Amino acid sequence: MRFFDRAYEGTPPWEIGAPQPEFVRRCDRGEIAGRVLDVGCGTGENAIYFASHGHPTLGIDLAPAAIRRARDKISGRALPLEFRLANVLDLDLGPQRFDTATDSGVFHVFEDRHRSVYAARVRSALRPGGRLFVLCFSEREPVDWGGPRRVSAAELRATFDPGWRVVEIQPARFLTRLAGVTGWAWSAVFERVETGSARPAGSAPAGRA
């Protein structure tokens, strides 16, 4: 947690001063639906975009500095939006359920042992049929500049099984402030299903993945 909080003492490279275009596209196409949980919201650009388009939104992040900045951005604005300090790996929202969850650059920071915990926590926050949208660096992104882990489509499928249906995994771009970084990514959609009714990983449509 300290790494991320210190990153917000300046401007982290993943903070581009606007919502990620991939989430703008999905929101404008009506794919972001109902009540939204924005996981790892940072300073809130994606969450603010969703709320400004009429979606009651809860943004969570484990970095206090990020949450402070996010709250400052909406001070005085009448939006259906709340920012809350929380770690998705310990997430417990009680009876609250969301129609949509979004993850812009969170999944790719986890160690292997945390991935199943993440999937279970997000699943518990979604209603049956609710969808999770993930944007993460793919294995196509070169490793010579460092940064977070690269993730394969196979790793995504393996994480979200059982209890999920793989709706799609498509190539996309994750924008950063880093010069010369292409930002090759996966844009993936997973739907919460009841255990026993999920399709085997990889059997759902997955675009060109």
**Total structural domains within the chain:** 1
Reported pTM = 0.90
Query: What is the residue range of 20's domain?
Result: 2-172+180-189
203 found inside a domain: no
The encoded tokens of residue 15 equal 């903070």
Say if 200 falls within a structural domain.
Answer: no
22 domain residue, yes or no: yes
Q: Residue 198 domain-assigned?
A: no
CA angle 17, 136, 52 (to 5 degrees): 40
C-alpha Rg value of the chain to the nearest Å: 16
Give every CB contact of residue 79 below 8 A, 6+ residues apart in sequence.
48, 51, 52
Structure tokens that stand for 64 in this block: 């206090």
197 located within any domain: no
Identify whether 105 is part of a domain.
yes
For tokens 């259906």, what's the residue?
Answer: 80
Burial 26-48 (b: 16+ CB within 10 A, else e): bbeeeebeebbbbbbbbbbbbbb
Residue-wise pLDDT for 102-120, tens only, equals 999 999 999 999 999 999 9
DSSP state of 48: H
pLDDT in tens, 124-182: 999 999 999 999 999 998 877 677 789 999 999 999 988 999 999 999 999 999 888 88
Which carries the bigger pLDDT value, residue 109 or residue 201? 109
Residue 152 lies in a domain: yes
Instruction: For the beta carbon of residue 158, count every other beta carbon within 10 angstroms.
Output: 13
- Which has the closest alpha carbon to 174: 106, 122, 114? 106
Residue 196 lies in a domain: no
**Residue 9's CATH number:** 3.40.50.150
